[in-house]
Amino acid sequence: MKNIFLVYIPPGNTEAMVHYEETIRQRVQPNRIFQYLAPGMKERLQRIFVGRPIAVWGSRDSSVNRAKFEKMRPGDEILVIEGPTIRLLAKIAATTVNPDLSRELWKPLHTGPSQSGWDLIYFLANPQQIDLPFDRFRPLVGYRDNYQLRGFSTVAREKLEAFYQRYDDLYSVLMQMKHQKPVHEIPQHDLFGDDVRLPQAAEPPDKELDDAFRDKVVSDHLRMQWTLANLGRKAGNKVWVPNGDQGRIRNQYQFNDFETDFAAGLDTQTKYVENIDVVWKEEFRIDAAFEIENSTAIYSGLLRFADLTLVAPNTLYPLFIVAPREKRNQLVNQLSRPTFQKLRLDRKVRYLPYEAVDEIHRFFEGRDRGVSVDVIVDRSEEIHFHH
């Protein structure tokens, strides 16, 4: 269960807003930070940020703040609130108590009696500008209307437990609110009633498929996994492929740039994601998920996405079914199943033809960058039914 920390900046606090602009909005070049860090912390930040500028913030080192700060763990959520508005949502990447770094980053704006520095320092991964009224957040965690923000605080454990029983993760919920989209609670076990149940296994393969065809299916599947993994790295993402497939891709394509630890701080229950064919991700966020389907059923990938939708109904990242163009109608038929319709899976899943993946791969061949999730989305197709 991820903690949720709140940093409150009172209206008119010029010093805090200048520092916010300098070290969060503009971010800080790594070398300016690394000279003050121990080797282990430096290596961790290098792995997370891969040479990119780093967002960083800090709190005064009081006994009250220190007790909260020591509860911080990588992957925890943090909100920066200015006056009545949530300005920023981010993940805790790492923490350090470091007066030298504090003096480097946050020099006083005015001369006068010195205050203690902002020595309780936290590095922020995946910072997102929110600009959402704090009033929208209060009911999510059971705060009363007269709740008063003060400095550096954390949401109490019982309120966290109540939140995570209802919602998948804070980032998804607040981003849905920001874009004025409905927020969905995690379905209860009786969502579908007795007449519709989520199947537990994929349909068996066609017994009439001969060995040569099966070999081609396996070969095409592996090629698509490698192609999507390669494009993911060109997009600047970390790439996850199930452990059982990594060796075959490594042997066939001499590709070994896989993420070694899938779980790293993710909110989603990893057992529902770690067997998806290809996942593009950041340290604490999934950016896209791909299921490759070239058998006759086009079914097992939809089941994995259905499971994921049940445990994470506010998922923001796109889900792609990757299949040959001649399989499109079979995908449409599967998405029309009552179970998938109840989940509105057609609103989340996009169809990405093999042929489109190959075209993107050819276009970016020989380039190290330029790919993005948006490029993939543009070449994919929504398949919507009327609900």
**Residue 206 is assigned to a structural domain of this protein:** no
pLDDT single digits (tens) 202-248? 444 444 445 544 455 568 889 999 999 999 999 988 898 988 888 89
> Is the confidence at residue 94, as pLDDT, over 90?
yes
281 and 343 housed in the same domain:
yes
Query: If you average pLDDT over residues 162-187, what whole number do you get?
Result: 86
Q: Within 13 Å and on the Cβ side, how many CA atoms surround 199?
A: 16
Same domain? For 286 and 165 the reply is no
Helix (H, G, I), strand (E, B) or coil at 323: strand
| Calpha distance 343→184 (Å, rounded) | 11
- Alpha helices by DSSP H, the chain: 14-20, 30-34, 39-49, 63-69, 99-105, 134-137, 157-166, 170-178, 211-234, 243-253, 300-311, 328-335, 338-342, 354-364, 373-379
- Evaluate whether residue 52 is within a structural domain: yes
Based on the domain organization, do 149 and 294 belong to the same domain?
no
Closest CA to 55 of 32, 73, 35, 36: 32
Q: Are residues 296 and 348 in the same domain?
A: yes
Average pLDDT of the chain is 83
**Buried/exposed code over 207-225 (b: 16+ C-beta within 10 A; e: otherwise):** eeeeeeeeeebeeebbbbb
Return the pLDDT at 366.
83
Pair (95, 220) in one structural domain = no
Do 257 and 369 fall within a single domain? yes
Domain assignment present for 197:
no
The reported pTM is 0.75
Q: Is residue 191 part of a domain?
A: no
- Where does a domain end: 132, 160, 178? 178
In which band, very low, low, confident or very high, does the pLDDT at 291 lie, cut at 50, 70 and 90?
very high
What confidence score (pLDDT) does residue 112 get?
54
**Cα(7)–Cα(320) distance, integer angstroms:** 37
Of the chain, the percentage scoring pLDDT greater than 70 comes to 85
Full domain range(s) for residue 319: 211-382
Q: Identify residue 162 by its one-letter amino acid code.
A: A
* Residue 54 belongs to some domain of the structure: yes
In whole angstroms, give the CA distance from residue 171 to residue 319: 18
The answer to whether residue 194 is domain-embedded is no
- Give a yes or no: residue 312 inside a domain: yes
| pLDDT computed for residue 275 by the predictor | 81
Alpha-carbon separation of residue 79 from 3, 70, 362 (angstroms): 11, 17, 42
Residue 189 domain flag:
no
Total domains, the chain:
2
